């Protein structure tokens, strides 16, 4: 009875001793695996920098492509290093199990991280297409602004109000995207109403002359003036002209200058811009008493 009690008390110590002896035997391999992983991370950083330089040269100095591809390759490099480190520790069975379970794990991760993976794939596709880059002024998924970052998962757009919004790459790829930076110009549309008593040809002449000196206007393109609608109290006039800028602030400045110039020109030439007319009917209540 006493012997059984002693064995029970010393059993945890014996287990610890066995573990410690096993650790001493594995210590050289553990140190080697640690050194190997440190070297792998150093090499991964080196590979990342080299890949970034290579892709910057091959992608017309597009930092987005370089960043995405460098991240992708360095991650693969680290994963490969982890498998080698496990082999150094003698965990060959673990490595085999990891490879054997890769298919099942991949399926599980694919379902659990479907959105993340699809955005990552979309990010790679978009960067290789070169449809846009950091610094471009774009409109995507109702957001308008300048691209400040592109990574594997999101495209960050700094809106005209200064607020950054992260758009998943899969949404950017799936939906229409307008890149104003590609054409380096934008069209300005201004709508104004004129009195029915006004000569349409006079309106076209005065309007065209009024917007000629708007800032950033592209003089090589024709200024267009259209009568688009018979309104309740005025004829609707649409004025179109192009500017050699594409950012929203430049567009708003040109639009503002155009509106002011048209108003002043109409006033000088006696062209009336009718105010809205509202008809209010007052019903009289009859007292039956």
Q: Per DSSP, what are the bridge partners of residue 155? A: 150, 167
- pLDDT band (50, 70, 90) for residue 151: confident
Residue 64 covered by a domain: yes
Q: Between residues 247 and 235, which one has the greater pLDDT?
A: 235
Say if 277 falls within a structural domain: no
Total of domains in the chain? 3
Task: Name 284's Cβ contacts closer than 8 Å, sequence gap at least 6.
Answer: none
Does 237 fall in a domain? yes
Whether residues 81 and 147 share a domain: the answer is no
By the 8 A CB rule, do 41 and 74 touch? no
Lowest mean pLDDT among 127-131, 179-183, 262-266: 127-131
Flag whether 287 is in a domain. Answer: no
Question: In CATH, what number is assigned to the domain containing residue 170?
Answer: 2.30.30.60
Q: What is the pLDDT of residue 158?
A: 95
* Position 50 in a domain: yes
**Which range (12-26, 44-58, 267-281) has the least confidence?**
12-26
Query: Strands of 164-168's sheet, edge to edge?
Result: 164-168, 154-159, 143-150, 137-140, 177-179
Q: What is the pLDDT of residue 41?
A: 82
Regarding whether 225 and 164 lie in a shared domain, the answer is no
221/210 Cα distance (integer angstroms) = 15
CATH number at residue 213: 3.30.70.100
Question: Does residue 238 sit in the same domain as residue 212?
Answer: yes
In a domain, 116, yes or no: no
The verdict on residue 285 lying in a domain is: no
Confirm whether pTM is higher than 0.75.
no
C-alpha angle 164-165-170 in degrees, rounded to nearest 5:
145
pLDDT tens, position by position, 92-121? 555 555 555 555 555 454 544 455 566 666
Tell whether 96 and 23 lie within a shared domain: yes
CA 257 to chain centre: 31
* Residue 47 neighbours by CB under 8 Å, 6+ apart: 70, 73, 74, 77
- Quick one: 206 and 255 in the same domain? yes
Q: What residues make up the domain containing 202?
A: 184-268
Please check whether residues 27 and 94 belong to one and the same domain. Answer: yes
| Strand 154-159 to 164-168 pairing | antiparallel
Regarding whether 189 and 171 lie in a shared domain, the answer is no
Report if residue 221 sits inside a domain. Answer: yes
Is the dihedral angle over the CA atoms 128, 136, 176, 178 positive or is it negative?
negative
- Residue 62 sits in the same domain as residue 45: yes
Of 58, 85, 100, the last residue of a domain is: 100
In this structure, the answer to whether residues 62 and 73 fall within a common structural domain is: yes
Q: Tell how far CA 101 is from the center of its chain.
A: 35
Q: Do 151 and 188 fall into the same domain? A: no
Cα angle at 214 between 209 and 215, to 5 degrees? Answer: 155
Could you tell me if 215 and 253 are in contact, meaning their C-beta atoms sit under 8 angstroms apart? yes
Q: Are residues 199 and 253 in the same domain?
A: yes
């Amino acid at each position: 009875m006493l012997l059984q009690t002693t064995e029970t008390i010393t059993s945890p110590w014996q287990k610890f001793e066995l573990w410690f002896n096993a650790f001493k035997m594995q210590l050289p391999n553990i140190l080697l695996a640690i050194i190997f992983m440190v070297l792998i991370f150093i090499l991964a950083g080196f590979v990342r920098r080299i890949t970034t330089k290579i892709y910057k040269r091959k992608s017309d100095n597009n930092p987005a492509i370089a960043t995405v591809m460098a991240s992708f390759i360095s991650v693969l490099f680290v994963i490969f290093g982890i498998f080698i480190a496990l082999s150094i520790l003698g965990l060959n069975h673990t490595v085999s199990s990891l490879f054997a379970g890769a298919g099942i794990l991949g399926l599980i991760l694919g379902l659990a991280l479907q959105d993340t993976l699809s955005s990552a794939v979309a990010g790679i596709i978009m960067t290789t297409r070169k449809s846009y880059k950091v610094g471009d002024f774009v409109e995507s998924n109702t957001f308008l602004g300048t691209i400040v970052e592109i990574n594997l998962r999101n495209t960050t757009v700094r809106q005209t109000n200064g607020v950054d919004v992260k758009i998943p790459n899969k949404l950017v790829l799936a939906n229409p995207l307008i890149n104003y930076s590609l054409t380096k110009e934008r069209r300005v549309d201004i709508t104004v109403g004129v009195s029915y008593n006004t000569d349409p040809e006079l309106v076209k002449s005065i309007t065209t002359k009024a917007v000629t000196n708007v800032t950033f206007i592209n003089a090589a393109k024709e200024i267009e003036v259209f009568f688009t609608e018979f309104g309740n109290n005025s004829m609707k006039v649409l004025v179109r002209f192009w500017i050699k800028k594409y950012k929203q602030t430049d567009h708003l400045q040109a639009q503002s200058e155009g509106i002011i110039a048209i108003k002043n020109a109409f006033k000088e030439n006696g062209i009336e811009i009718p105010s809205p007319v509202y008809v209010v009917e007052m019903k009289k209540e009859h007292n039956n008493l």
